[in-house]
Amino acid sequence: MSPKALDYESINENVKKVQYAVRGELYLRASELQKEGKKIIFTNVGNPHALGQKPLTFPRQVVALCQAPFLLDDPNVGLIFPADAIAKAKHYLSLSLGGLGAYSDSRGIPGIRKEVAEFIERRDGYPSDPELIFLTDGASKGVLQLLNTIIRGEGDGVLVPVPQYPLYSAAIALYGGSLVPYYLEETANWGLDLNDLRQSVTQARYKGITVRAMVIINPGNPTGQCLSEANLRQILQFCFQENLVLLGDEVYQQNIYQDERPFISAKKVLMDMGPPISKELQLVSFHTVSKGYWGECGQRGGYFEMTNIPPQTVDEIYKVASVSLSPNVPAQVFMGLMVNPPKPGDISYEQFIRESKGILESLRRRARLMTDGFNSCRNVVCNFTEGAMYSFPQIRLPPRAIEAAKTAGKVPDVFYCLKLLEATGISTVPGSGFGQKEGVFHLRTTILPAEEDMPEIMASYKKFNDEFMEQYEDHRGYSRI
């Protein structure tokens, strides 16, 4: 009998090529151990609320009222909800015909897209067109949509930073394109070398690949670095010279833990550069409610803004968005609240500032605690987490550990991370899931565990690492840069 359509051997080969380490072997083993009763600390994914971060009060109040609008008719509603939350809920309900249970425009509610445009204008100092902003189910959905639009076949390549967030490698594989890696330099705080970038393009073209787009992740995931204005100018000029569309993953723009390099959007730098580049370079920028001090991952709210994209292409992207009818409507309200939060003088302003500032200050302290903790460990080197939500330490594995991993049929950093998980319950992601230079090994962990738990977690890690190194060390040398 011939294979059925959904038998494994007959399904789409691109589906089989997709790899997503954040929810891969380590996560599956951690889930098994949790079912067996072991305490697991899931630091494998940037999921703030799952690790104890409290939701911001004001947006939850507004969305609660939008979800249950009959509460607005209750004469006692003002005893439970502040007046500005009530007013804001009425505002968003007035923008959505049929409330949160009705489909919206496939690009998102027009009034909320206008609020996003106003936010971008305040941030960058340049106009933003709501007609070029699409609200999406998290930033990931927007990335998928744009890559699907760009990639025409395996001959089309996308420049992706390595280490990279595996959404990009997975999506490029799924859509049948070719990932063109450009390596970030760990010894230069994960900096970008333009000569390496040019070499990546040259090598891809030699293989017959048409490089059509470049991805930047700013601040970096998993590497945590923040791009300077000078870096961004170089990147934009490179894309202009090479005729590439730039995809700017800027979902961690609120997560900045140092003062030397504040977040600057790619769009602002592009507009500052002026014509002809500001009128011609194609740019798509992404943002989300999942990160920052919001951390509303489960709400699945995001947007992308298109710059210098032809109207006919925008229409095609709109057409494809229409196949899914509507992005998640409650998440659109969260997005509206993120870009248009309480203002000075509003009843909820002081509490909102106190909560959001408290989260960011704690994350800044945790970034330092984790970096210092890793750097105190034997054969571990870690750059400071300037932004985003992750540490990405290099683990200098002894040759005997690498040999033991091969004997076990494991990639060396997967072997190390599995041993860490079994010994401590700390669930991380091996660096091989993000890409890394040959013979160099890392792990990625979030900085999200509760601040009061961080010393114990780092002590547990240090104890494991010291014992691991003692077991496998033979003083013949190590994997290293």
Query: What's residue 45's pLDDT?
Result: 77
Q: What average pLDDT does range 125-146 have in this prediction?
A: 97
Residue 340, pLDDT score: 96
On whether the CB atoms of residues 247 and 282 are closer than 8 A, the answer is no
- Report which of 138, 213, 170, 214 is spatially closest to residue 17, judged by C-alpha positions: 170
Name residue 359's amino acid.
Answer: I
Q: What is the gyration radius of the CA atoms in the chain, in angstroms?
A: 23
Nearest by Cα to 389 from 247, 260, 290:
290
Q: Kindly state the average pLDDT of the residues 176-185.
A: 93
Q: Hey, is 416 helix, strand or coil?
A: helix
Mean pLDDT value of segment 195-202: 93
Render pLDDT for 412-435 as a digit per residue (tens, 0 to 9).
999 999 999 999 999 999 998 888
143, exposed or middle or buried, with CB in 10 Å at 0-12, 13-18, 19+?
buried
Q: Cα 288 to the chain's mean position, in Å?
A: 9
State residue 476's pLDDT score. Answer: 52
In Å, how far are 6, 10, 26, 161, 323 from 45, measured between CA atoms?
A: 30, 32, 11, 19, 29
**C-alpha distances in Å from residue 33, one per residue of 152, 354, 423, 426, 431:** 42, 38, 11, 11, 22
Report which of residues 46 and 388 the model is more confident about: 388
The residue whose two tokens read 């380490």 is: 21
pLDDT at 71: 96
Read off the pTM.
0.92
Measured between alpha carbons, how far is 165 from 330 in angstroms, rounded to an integer? 26
Q: What is the pLDDT of residue 422?
A: 93
300: its two tokens:
């699945």
Q: Which of 417, 355, 398 is nearest to 57 (CA)?
A: 355
- The pLDDT value recorded for residue 394 is 95
E strands, 147-232, are: 156-162, 178-183, 210-217
- Residue 280 CA to residue 243 CA, distance in Å, equals 10
Average model confidence (pLDDT) for the chain?
92
pLDDT of 477 strictly over 60: no
State mean pLDDT over 312-322. Answer: 96
Structure tokens at 154: 């395996």
Contact call for residues 109 and 135 (beta carbons, < 8 A):
yes
Instruction: Give the pLDDT mean for 461-469.
Output: 95
Average confidence (pLDDT) over 226-238: 94
Residue 174 has pLDDT above 60, yes or no: yes
Q: What is the pLDDT of residues 11-32, one digit of tens each?
A: 888 888 887 766 678 888 899 9
Amino acid present at 149: T
* Residue percentage of the chain with pLDDT more than 70: 98
Q: Per residue in 52-67, pLDDT tens?
A: 889 999 999 999 999 9
**Cα angle 59, 65, 69; round to 5:** 155
Q: Would you say residue 481 has pLDDT above 50?
A: no
- What is the CA 36 to chain-centroid distance, rounded? 31
Question: CA nearest 141: which of 314, 290, 312?
Answer: 290
Q: Quick one: pLDDT at residue 18?
A: 80
Structure token digits, residue 130: 């709501």
Residue 128: per-residue pLDDT: 98
Residue-level pLDDT at 23: 67
Residue 21 is predicted with a pLDDT of: 61
The residues near 237 (Cβ < 8 Å, ≥ 6 apart) are 273, 277
pLDDT at position 189 is: 86
Predicted local distance difference test score (pLDDT) of residue 480: 47
Alpha carbon distance 292, 334 (integer Å): 13
Name the token pair of 220: 């970096």
Burial (CB count <10 Å: 0-12, 13-18, 19+), residue 15:
exposed
Average pLDDT over every residue of 347-372: 95
pLDDT at 402 over 60: yes
Q: Which two tokens stand for residue 75?
A: 């004469």
Percent of the chain with pLDDT over 90: 77
Cα-Cα-Cα-Cα torsion 467, 468, 470, 474, nearest 10 degrees, comes to: 180
